[in-house]
């Protein structure tokens, strides 16, 4: 059972009561991430995430985590391109403490200058660690290839030079303008007394200042047709191939989920069976979606030996065009409806996963989608929906690429992609031509 309401200061609250559990998940999700940043403060959202754990007037950094861990709970946070979330999961008997700690962090953090300087080193080491991970580097340079100079291309962690420039004033100013009740949601899921919970929420979050109003807006963005590569002395070449996707909450999103599942979403998918199982070209190959507000991408990833790159890209292209042209049968449509329904339901088995889902939906769409709503939408997927997504996402083919590894001949690899696209156009009906 859901309850949606807004406090006097503009903070939206969503609660979901679940009778059969004895846990509680509490999260504050803010519509702010690297996409909201200007170039000169890139990385500040993630840095602030760290600093919220570094002590308040009431608690030291150690006490923040210790109070939750001492009751067997978990406390953590994450920063993404469009949102930042701080969350706690514990037994439902400790809901008061959970709200106390999480509100204390967000509303009363000290941002001690000494702690800021210390945390700069921590975050720079996190950046260095990320740069040692070829898949992280691949994701970063592919964002540049497909989003160009838009802030969606900015790395979430930022760069060391930017991190070194942060100070208490810059952090406090950013929080004042970007962390407001108006662009935040408090999401709670689990077993609780609704009347008591409302009182606690008002007690801990009712004093959040409403002086500044921040309603994030983003410029429209057109996906770029570009390629990036980075030389790294590693054993494999890591490849990301970008296609048109769909924006977050698009009406045809579930149809894309279904088609992606068939094409590259699992061990029975076309990509896995053709590239790995039949030809043995790689260990890992899959496709995945990246939906954002107003824009989205569909991506194909693989990591493999340099000597197999040409063959792998040719095979991926061949089956991509074949899939786009032939589509799927009615039988496969019905089978995969059941698969994505099962995946969706199983993904909401914990209070924390439901808390995250409720928070994001309420934050970015200002409404809640129930399980019944989602299942109903999946059941309604028909051939028109499938054809729309094939036309928009799959038929244009690969539009961007990124490569990380050593001895990469990026021009030759992109030539394979482009030659394949030309060949595909020449043997396709005019209505399918770009």
Task: Scan for tokens 């043995």, then name that residue.
Answer: 280
Which among 168, 12, 128, 143 is positioned nearest to 80, based on CA atoms? 143
- Give the DSSP H or E segment for 5: strand 2-6
The encoded tokens of residue 317 equal 């292209």
First and final CA of the chain: distance in angstroms?
47
Cα–Cα distance for residue pair 330/308, rounded to 1 Å: 35
Q: Do the beta carbons of residue 249 and residue 379 sit within 8 Å?
A: no
DSSP one-letter string for 11-38? -EEEEEE-TT--EEEEEEEES-SGGG--
Which alpha helices (DSSP H) does 209-350 contain, by range? 253-264, 270-271, 309-326, 330-346
C-alpha torsion angle, residues 97, 98, 99, 103 (rounded to 10): 100
Catalytically annotated residue among 49, 67, 115, 140: 49
Q: Which two tokens stand for residue 168?
A: 């208490």
- Closest to 413 in 3D by CA, of 400, 395, 394: 400
- 73 and 88 in contact (C-beta within 8 Å)? yes
Q: Is 49 a catalytic residue?
A: yes
* Residues forming the active site: 49
């Amino acid at each position: 059972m859901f309850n949606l309401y807004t406090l006097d200061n503009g903070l939206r609250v969503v609660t979901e009561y679940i009778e059969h559990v004895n846990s509680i998940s509490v999260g504050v999700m803010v519509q702010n991430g690297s996409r909201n940043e200007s170039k000169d403060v890139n990385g500040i959202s993630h840095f602030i995430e760290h600093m919220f754990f570094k002590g308040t007037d009431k608690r030291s950094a150690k006490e923040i985590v210790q109070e939750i861990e001492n009751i067997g709970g978990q406390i953590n946070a994450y920063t993404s391109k469009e949102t930042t979330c701080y969350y706690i999961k514990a037994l439902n008997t400790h809901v008061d403490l959970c709200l106390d700690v999480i509100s204390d962090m967000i509303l009363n953090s000290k941002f001690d200058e000494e702690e800021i300087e210390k945390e700069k080193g921590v975050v720079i080491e996190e950046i260095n660690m990320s740069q040692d991970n070829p898949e992280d580097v691949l994701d970063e340079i592919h964002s540049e290839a497909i989003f160009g100079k838009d802030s969606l291309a900015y790395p979430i962690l930022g760069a060391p030079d930017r991190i070194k420039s942060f100070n208490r004033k810059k952090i406090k100013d950013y929080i004042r303008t970007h962390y407001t009740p108006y662009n935040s949601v408090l999401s709670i899921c689990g077993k609780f007394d609704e009347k008591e919970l409302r009182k606690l929420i008002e007690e801990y979050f009712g004093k959040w200042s409403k002086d500044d109003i921040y309603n994030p807006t983003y410029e429209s963005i057109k996906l770029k047709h570009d390629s990036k590569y980075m030389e790294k002395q590693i054993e494999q070449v890591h490849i990301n191939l970008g296609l048109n996707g769909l924006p977050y909450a698009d009406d045809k999103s579930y149809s894309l989920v279904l088609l992606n599942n068939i094409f590259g979403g699992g061990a029975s998918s076309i990509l896995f069976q053709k590239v790995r199982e039949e030809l043995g070209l790689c260990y890992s190959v899959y496709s995945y979606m990246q939906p954002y507000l107003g824009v989205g991408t569909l991506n194909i990833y693989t990591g493999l030996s340099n000597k197999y790159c040409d063959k792998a890209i040719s095979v991926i292209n061949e089956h991509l065009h074949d899939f786009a042209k032939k589509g799927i049968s009615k039988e496969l449509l019905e089978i995969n409806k059941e698969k994505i329904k099962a995946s969706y339901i199983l993904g909401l088995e914990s209070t924390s996963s439901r808390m995250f889902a409720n928070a994001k939906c309420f934050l970015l769409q200002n409404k809640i989608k129930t399980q019944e709503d989602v299942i109903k939408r999946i059941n309604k997927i028909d051939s028109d929906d499938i054809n729309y997504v094939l036309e928009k996402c799959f038929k244009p083919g690969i539009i961007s690429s990124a490569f990380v590894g050593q001895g990469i001949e990026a021009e030759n690899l992109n030539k394979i992609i482009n030659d394949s696209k030309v060949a595909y156009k020449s043997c396709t009906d005019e209505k399918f031509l770009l």
